[in-house]
Every structure is written in C-alpha cells, then in structure tokens.
Chains A and B, each alone.
Chain A
Amino acid sequence: MSCPATDEHVRRVDGAPAAGALDATAEQWFPAVPDRVRAHPVEGLIVFDAQDLRFLEFRALLHQQRHAERRSVMVTPCNPPATAAHLVELLRLSRIRIGAAR
C-alpha cells in the first residue's frame, strides 16, 4: 500500500526510536514504538513514519504485531528498511502492513 501523506494519518514517533536502529541494543524501546505514535487509529489503522529507521529487528515487529492485536487495529510503518517487509512475510505478521518499503 502507499502511505497516506497527511498529518492526520502520519505522525512521527515522539522520541528516540523514530530514528536510528531498533535492534538488540535498543530492546527497551520495542514496546514504546506504537505506544508513542501520537496518532489515534484512523479506520482501524495506525500509520507511522519509519523513514528514519535504519534497521528494524524482528522482535520490534513482533511487539508491533502484539500491540495491533491488543487494539484490534492494523499497524503500518511507512517507508521502513526493506528488510521489514521480508520479515513481516516470513513471520506471517498479519496485523502489520508495510507502506511503500524503501
């Protein structure tokens, strides 16, 4: 899917996890990512800008999947690293839909 470009849908994460790398050395941030997206779900969809993430570990995606399951929504990281789409497919993360991977 393409990422909605309006501010209404796309919000930057309010803090460090918006940029850099979410890997084993940043594990404490995994649960924080979806919670710190300030946008409320719109039509069951939480979209956030992952453009500045250089790396996204599978555990971070699993956290997002669980977050989405709890809230019965879909999570869409927009423009995440290309490997994110591969991981979502491998791990069959049904509540994550990658928006326009790099």
Chain B
Amino acid sequence: MRTGAGAGHTGYLHEAICYDSDEHLLDVVVPFLLGGVAAGEPTIVSFGERTAGLVRTALPPGCPVTFLTSGEVYARPAGAIRSYRALLAEHVQRGAGQIRIVGELGRPQFGPTWDWWARYESAINHAYDEFPLWSMCAYDTRATPAHVLADVLRTHPKTAAPFDRHTANAQYTDPETFLLENRPEVADPLQRATPASDTLDGQPGESRRIVREAGAGRVGPAKLDDLTLAVSEIVANAHRYGRPPVRMRVWAGPGRVVVTVTDTGPGTKDPFAGLLPAASETSAGFGLWIAHQVCDHVSMQRGPDGFSIRLTVSDQTG
C-alpha cells in the first residue's frame, strides 16, 4: 500500500524540489522522510555532505533513515540507474509497498556533463516505473544554472513544495521525446586543437590500437582500458548499424582523452539507448550501454550530417 502523495499512484512518482533556502529544503524533505518512516517504508537520502548534515540534524535521533553517499551513487547516469534498480528490486522483493528516496546531484554535474544527467533525469521516469517509488530530486536554485533548471522542469512530472504541495510541471516532456532531442554539447577544450588522429573507416581493432597509442601516458592504464573497450563497441556499432564513412577522431591531453565517432546514418532510434541495457545483444544499445558504464562522459548528437558519439575519460573523475 502506498502513502502520502504516492497513495493511489501506480509506478514511479518523480518530483523535483527547487529550493532557495535550507529551510525550504528541510520543510519539504523532513516531512517526506518522517512520513516514510511512520509508514514503515524504506526511506533513503542520497545527498552530499552539507545537505546530508542538515537533514541528519533535523531528524529525531535514531530515525531509521538510510543515508547513501551521493558521490558514489551519481558517478555515472547508467551506473546510477543500474544501482538504483538493483536496490529497488531488493526492497520490493522484501515486500516494500513504497520506497521513498530523496537525492541530489553535485555541482560538477551541472557543468559540461549536464547533458547526460538531463538524459538520466528523463530516462528514469521509464527506468524506475516498474517500482512503487516516490522520489524527490533536490536542486538549489541559488547554485543551479538556468538551463539546468529548465531541464529539471522538463524531466520531472511534478514539483514538491512545503506544506505538502505537489504541483504538475506544465513543461514536463515525455522521455520518448526529450531523449531523442539533441542536448547542447559543450566542446571539450582539447577539441580546439588538431586531433592526434583522424581516420576513416577503421575497424575496431585498428581503432583500439590508435586510441591506445594516443592515450598512453595521458590517463591511467585502467581508464585507457575502459576507453578502448568503449571505442571498440562504438566503432563496431557504427560499422554494423550506421552508414559509412565512419570517422574517428582522438584528442589526448594531460589527464584526459576524448574520442568522437561519427557515421552518416540517423543514429539509434531507441530513446533510452546507453542508459538502459538493450533488450537484445544484437542491437546497438548493448555496446552503447557499456560505453556509458565505463566512460566518464558520453554525449550523442544527431544531425543532417549523421550521428556522432563523443567518449571522454578523465583521471579527475570516476
């Protein structure tokens, strides 16, 4: 049985909190958590250190709320979806009628990698919809860029406010539409220079060799292994499902390697490609999902010239 705003709701209830003061945040979050505890529902907080501290202080001592470290949960969107789906399945198996989670992304995620977090916020409307989940995603309007807040309203069906108010967001856009739009892509500074390699129609093996050579000594061996794996999958996809020519460019700098793979086809039609594992290993989605799991950032662009994927690994993240 579901309680609170989740009562009578089927599947995932996904709300944003757009707060402008700590009091505003606590006025929404504390009743949400206490309501979950009172109903015996698994009640989880996935906040950064400062806001987690605020919430801890505001809760009664010994309150059985679970705190997760948001930095680990939100390292990569596809990883967050994988972890949360496992967690939710476990709670449902134990008989939970509803699970409550409040979470927040860190400020670094509002920077150049925001495009894949916007895709995450949209995709989870589908990815978690098989679970009786009520979650709130907190955004501090004092520190969140306007374009991020605009995406927040397009990816959350509702906004929660103090005094148990839950308002539908008129801007909300179905994931099937949102995820097939091009998200603004911030050019990596490395891309201003001439690429270390620019090749046409290389097969996966040659692409792996090029990336290994260009990235050697630029990022750690594990990061380079991950990038090589991702490049191999994406190049194989481009040959198998895209349209020639397949162009691969590689930029390498201290601590970071960027690879773009472009073909002249329309790109995948699956809006959830990369964020959710494909149903079949014979589709492009599986390789794309692996790339999303191992790279520090993946962005995709569709245009008149074709479909382009950019893969980045960095020693400073992940």
Listed in ascending order, the chain A residues whose CB lies under 8 Å from chain B are 21, 23-25, 55, 57-59, 62, 81-83, 86-87, 90
Contact = CB atoms under 8 A, between A and B. Distances in A.
Given A24-B236, A82-B225, A86-B226, A58 B204 contact: no
Interface of A is mostly: helix
A55 B208 contact: yes
A83 B229 contact: yes
Contact of A24 (B204, B221, B228): B204
Contact of B205 (A25, A59, A83, A87): A25
Interface of B is mostly: helix
Interface footprint category on B: 20 to 34
Given A24-B240, A25-B204, A59-B281, A86 B294 contact: yes
Interface of B: 203-205, 208, 221-222, 225-226, 228-229, 232-233, 236, 239-240, 281, 286-287, 290, 293-294
B238 to A, nearest CB: 10
Contacts of B203: 25
Most buried by A among B221, B229, B239: B229
Contacts of A62: 281
B38 to A, nearest CB: 35
29 contacts: A21-B204, A21-B205, A21-B208, A23-B232, A23-B236, A24-B204, A24-B232, A24-B236, A24-B239, A24-B240, A25-B205, A55-B205, A55-B208, A55-B228, A57-B232, A57-B236, A58-B233, A58-B287, A58-B290, A62-B281, A81-B225, A82-B222, A83-B226, A83-B228, A86-B225, A86-B226, A87-B290, A90-B293, A90-B294
